[in-house]
Structures are given as C-alpha cells and as structure tokens.
Amino acid sequence: MPAVSVEGVKKSFGSTQALAGVDLEVARGEIVGLLGPNGAGKTTLVRVLATLLPPDGGRAEVLGLDVVRQAAQVRQRIGLTGQQAAVDEILTGRENLRLFGELFHLSVADARRRADELLERFDLVEAADRTARTYSGGMRRRLDLASSLLVRPELLFLDEPTTGLDPRSRNSIWEVTRELVDEGTTLLLTTQYLEEADQLADRIVVIDHGRIIAEGTGDDLKEQVGGQVVEVLLANPDERRTALAALGDHAHPVGEVRVHVGIDGEHALQRVAQVAAALDEAGLTVRDLGLRRPTLDDVFLQLTGNPPSDAEVAGNGHAHSGDRPADVHVGDGPAGDGAAPAVDPTAAAGDPTAAADDPTAAASGDTAAAGDRRAHINARGEDHS
C-alpha cells in the first residue's frame, strides 16, 4: 500500500483552478520533492493531503485512509511543518517543545526528555531558556521543525522546510530528514531551493498550472534537457538580450546574468568554441564560460517556461515569494521573521472565498493555514488551534 495515492484531485478558488486533476503516488519510505513555479498548486496539494482543505473532486488517500471521510484517522498518523514557524513567542524554546509534546499526548516525562534531545539535535541548547521572541528567523525555523519531530509520524509533510536557514542549518535539516527516512518515515516536501530537491529527494515531481507535468529522479529530469550545456556568465546583466540573440535558438536565460546553450554531446568542445566566438563577435564581456551538465534550473525553464531568479540559483533566496503570505502574523515579530499565522485551518478549508479574492494566493494554496501546525495532528487527531 502506498503512503500517498492521489487520483484526479481538483480544487478551485472561485474562478481560479489550483489543482486541475492531479495524479500522484508516493511509496512508503520515499522522499518526494514537489517543485513548481509560483501559483503551481504545490501547497494546495499538501493542504488537501493534510486534511486542511477538502478537494472539489477526485480521490486522495494517505496511508490507506481517505482524506475526506477519514480525516481524523489521517491526522493521527501524519505530521506537517508549514511555511511559517508555528511557535509561541512568549514561551521559551524548551517550553514550546514541552507544550507540543503534551499536545501530542506524550507523558510529562517523555515530553521533557524529547524536548531536551531535540534542543541538542538542532543546536538550540544555549537558547533553550530564552523566549522565542528573541530568536532569529532561522532559530525559530529550527525550533518549529524540532516540534514536528516530538513524535514519529509515518508521513511527514515539509512545506519549504529550510526557508530562512543558513547553509549550515540547512545541511543539518537535510541530515535529520535522511535520518527520519532511515527510521521509516515517508516525506513529501515542497521547496523553492532547487539544490535541496536535487540533493534530498529520491524522486522529483514537477507541477505547473495545477497539473503534474513531469516526474523522475533528478538525473532523469536533467536528461530531458538534453545532456550537457555551455554555461555563460555575463559580466553585465544588461547584455543578456544581446547574448541570447547572438547565441541563437538553443540558448536560454537562467537568472539575470547566466545563459545556457544546449549542445550535442559528441561535439561539446566544438560548441564551446562556437559560443565563445559568437560572444566575441558581438562584443560581449563574460565572467566565465564552461561546459557542464544541466541542473534543475534548466529543467524548470524547459518544463514550465519560468526561469528561477539568481537568488534561487545561488541557493540563498526565494524565487517565488508569492507562495507565502506576508501579512499574517502573531506576536511582535516582523513580517517574514517566521511568526506563526493566526489562521483557523478549519475555517480556511470551509471558506475559500478569501483566497479567491487573490488569484495568486489562491493558486498557490493560500498557504497561511498550512503554516500553522497547531491546527493538525496529535495522537487523537484533534484540533487544538
């Protein structure tokens, strides 16, 4: 029995169709990365599978349970970490973890023990007894992720799990994620970091306009681009249009200053020379030019027509910031600092009209509800929001 089975799932917000008949299967013990441009339907699908949003049509089962008819049983067996950190700012890090442990129906002793283990695992011991309002955005994110690991869910949904983390913290989350899978947990993650999907996921699913348009391993998807490419790093971003014209139909932009040129692998060196000559003839200056294999950036462009931003290419920014609400917060933290959204997911699921007022937010799933993990999942499937 697969961990996730989806057939023809549809979801609309007003006139905007967020999911247009999605079919997906996730095997037990698998890490599946869900990629797509802004408004593709990634978070809408996660919300449907996490029982936070009812589908308009089709069928979805999680761990053999129907997400509509058996929602309470589903919530007993899954975990969800949303895009916004769901921590209580007036509590300390240690108190937050103990509170979540009790909500998950751990004994007081077990909640204390697990809290101490996770504080150490996520390098939060020194800050454990400070209030969460004093934490940086990255620290809040690590605390938020730690709280989702107080119990061992059979299936864990990670909605952009490393947003806002520095490279060291991101690598730590990747290590923990792999450990969870080794222990038997199935993971479905959405991410805006293409490197993260490439490094972490066993299989990558690309979604666009509410439909799955491609899936496979990272190498499988890269092969669709056509083997190796010549990468050009321009010295001046204003010259990108001129470079594309000089390099012809096989060239496409990747961010502001990068251009990739597809080649025939048998004539790779000859093609590099041709690219260099064309750029020189056009009077363009380049910072770097070389031969390399395609990345998921190239896959994104070919499959969706949407190049990632330079920040995303570098792995330290968000290309699709429209996937997250910027104005829904709790406490005193500034926007974008990881504060938990004040949303009742039950109400959000029952009344999508607010999302329909903003087609961009609607198509991306109006992620605020998914960001508040207080609303899901405890040992009895109750709502403690």
Distance, C-alpha 270 to centroid of its chain: 39
CB 158 within 8 A of CB 81: yes
Q: What is the 3-state secondary structure (H, E, C) of 248-259?
A: CCCEEEECCCEE
Mean pLDDT over the full length of the chain: 77
Domains and their CATH numbers in the chain: 4-220+320-375 (3.40.50.300), 228-292 (3.30.70)
- What is the share, in percent, of the chain residues with pLDDT greater than 90? 41
Question: Tell me: the pLDDT tens digits for 248-266?
Answer: 888 888 888 999 888 765 6
Per-residue pLDDT at 334: 35
Per-residue pLDDT at 64: 95
Residues in contact with 81: Cβ distance below 8 Å, sequence separation at least 6, in sequence order: 144, 145, 148, 156, 157, 158, 159, 161, 373
pLDDT higher than 50, residue 290 = yes
Question: Tell me: the pLDDT tens digits for 294-337?
Answer: 677 777 777 776 544 333 333 333 333 333 333 222 233 333 33
- Comparing 128-132, 205-209, 380-384, the range with the smallest average pLDDT is 380-384
Listed residue (167, 170, 118) closest to 147, CA to CA: 118
Across 16-25, 157-166, 360-369, the highest mean pLDDT is recorded for 16-25
How far apart CA 55 and CA 10 sit, in angstroms, is 6
- By three-state DSSP, how is residue 310 classified? helix
How far apart CA 385 and CA 378 sit, in angstroms, is 11
How far apart CA 166 and CA 187 sit, in angstroms, is 22
Amino acid occupying residue 9: V
- What is the share, in percent, of the chain residues with pLDDT greater than 70? 76
Buried b (16+ CB within 10 A) or exposed e, 12-24: bbeebbbbbebeb
Confidence class for position 86, pLDDT limits 50, 70, 90: confident
Per-residue pLDDT at 46: 93
Q: Of all helices (H) and strands (E), which one includes residue 361? A: helix 359-363
Per-residue pLDDT at 266: 60
Higher pLDDT, 355 or 36: 36
Across 2-6, 259-263, 296-300, 374-378, the highest mean pLDDT is recorded for 2-6
Angle, CA 286 vertex, CA 284 and CA 292 arms, to 5°: 125
Listed residue (295, 225, 254, 208) closest to 34, CA to CA: 208
Confidence class for position 225, pLDDT limits 50, 70, 90: low
What are the percentages of helix, strand and coil residues in the chain, rounded to 5? Answer: 40, 20, 40
Q: What is the mean pLDDT of residues 92-102?
A: 95
Positive or negative torsion for Cα 14, 19, 21, 25: negative
How far apart CA 150 and CA 162 sit, in angstroms, is 18
Per-residue pLDDT at 319: 34
pLDDT higher than 80, residue 78 = yes
Q: Locate 370 and state its tokens.
A: 């998914």
Q: Locate 209 and state its tokens.
A: 């306009």
- Comparing 57-61, 113-117, 121-125, 179-183, the range with the smallest average pLDDT is 179-183
Per-residue pLDDT at 346: 36
pLDDT higher than 80, residue 24 = yes
Alpha-carbon distances, residue 37 vs 157, 162, 168, 221 (angstroms): 19, 17, 26, 16
